[in-house]
Amino acid sequence: MSHFIDALHCQNKLRPPIWLMRQAGRYMPDYMAYKNGKSLLSLFRDKKAIVDITEMPITHLNMDAKILFSDILIVLDLFSIPYDFVDKIGPRISKVWSLNDFDHFDLKKLDFLFESIDLLVQNKNKPLIGFAGAPFTIASYLIEGGSSREYKKVKQLIYSDPKTFYKLLDMLSDAIIQFLDKQAESGVSALQLFDSWANILSYEDALLYSVGFLRKIVEQRRHKEVPLIFFSKGSAPYLEQIIQTGVSAISIDWQQDLMRVRKLTPSHMAIQGNLDPSIFYGTKEGLKKAVDTILDKMQGHPGFIFNLGHGIMPDAPYEMVKFLVEYIQCQK
Ligand code: CP3
């Protein structure tokens, strides 16, 4: 029995399950000790590290689901496109890309990850969530060569050569579909698609490049028995269109009113969210109040999954995170 799986099927009659985006990371003293100067990329490619770090938030914080310790950029391995993670800066992709880079696709390049999934699901403590970056967000990293504030190069391509941009997303989405399906075959209980940067798009472009490719992924993936959660920031203007794709669950950012979300969402669709990740910098009283507000808005919805509205901050005080998990888990 799992609160998390029940909630994904909108059949949870108990307290809501909780897990946090980026739950395996730097706010955890155990993660920092484990990392101990090792490069992030070496951890992402090491089966034992993947398993050990994925289990940390279960062992130490008793989260209701474990998310695979990997990164959205790992999909670039399928095309042998090199990338790196620079300390305090983030992802870096030095190669200048071209559409030809996507001719050679080899799912075997990620065998170590599928084998890690295999190991992780043998431990039946908590359900495992697999994931991928959405085509738009992956393309943004590729085009910018890393994180960006304004995504100028992405916008330049969208407005100067939309055909090439669309083709790039289309090729990436084909790979992402196979990547998600293979994770499902390897045994994950759920999948999440991260379109973290879709909020920089105009309304029309968000429909085309974010929602459009979500629809394609929902329709073309084979393992529909494994629920798919969709996360993007700033999705309020086109929430209805996201819902219409038929995705299994929607993950909501912290700026949205969950009451409105609940009213717009059909009863068979699960809802995940949406505590402000910065709440941990405040007091326990403030945290409780914010959680109570969310729980009130969801009114015991059988498909509600408690989470943050975006990934946890690297310097979130550990004690506050622990307090949150305990507070949710003592709800009736
Ligand atoms: O949620 C989890 O605990 C699972 C693992 C996970 C990571 N990245 C590990 C990671 C997941 C689900 C991701 C997704 C991811 N990666 C996203 C989408 C979610 C989001 O937050 O919007 C994005 C945009 C990335 C790209 C990425 N990876 C960035 C921008 C950075 C650097 C920024 C930062 O936080 O330092 C990373 C590095 C990264 N990926 C870390 C972790 C735990 C940092 C760890 C470290 O430096 O030790």
Q: Which tokens is 124 given?
A: 């039946």
Q: Is the CB of 21 under 6 A from ligand 1?
A: yes
Q: Is the CB of 26 under 6 A from ligand 1?
A: yes
Check pLDDT > 80 for residue 325.
yes
For residue 332, report the distance from its CA to the centre of ligand 1, in Å.
32
Distances (CA, A) of 212 to 25, 109, 204, 272: 31, 28, 10, 21
State the Cα–Cα distance between residues 113 and 78, nearest whole angstrom: 12
Proportion of the chain above pLDDT 70, given as a percent: 100
Check pLDDT > 90 for residue 239.
yes
Q: Is the CB of 67 under 6 A from ligand 1?
A: yes
pLDDT digits (tens, 9 = 90+) for 174-214: 999 999 999 999 999 999 999 999 999 999 999 999 999 99
Please report the atom of ligand 1 found closest to the CA of residue 23.
3
pTM score over 0.75:
yes
CB of 27 closer than 8 Å to CB of 322: no
State the Cα–Cα distance between residues 286 and 126, nearest whole angstrom: 29
State the Cα–Cα distance between residues 67 and 73, nearest whole angstrom: 16
Q: H or E segment at 118? A: helix 111-122
φ/ψ of 232, rounded to 5, equals: -145, 155
pLDDT for the residue numbered 1: 75
pLDDT for the residue numbered 150: 86
For residue 33, report the distance from its CA to the centre of ligand 1, in Å.
18
Q: Whose CA is nearest to atom 40 of ligand 1?
A: 71
pLDDT digits (tens, 9 = 90+) for 4-29: 999 999 999 999 999 999 999 999 99
Counted residue by residue, the chain has a size of 332
Radius of gyration of the chain (CA): 19
Q: Is the CB of 280 under 6 A from ligand 1?
A: no
Q: Which of 189, 234, 243, 188 is nearest to 215 (CA)?
A: 243
Q: Whose CA is nearest to atom 11 of ligand 1?
A: 71
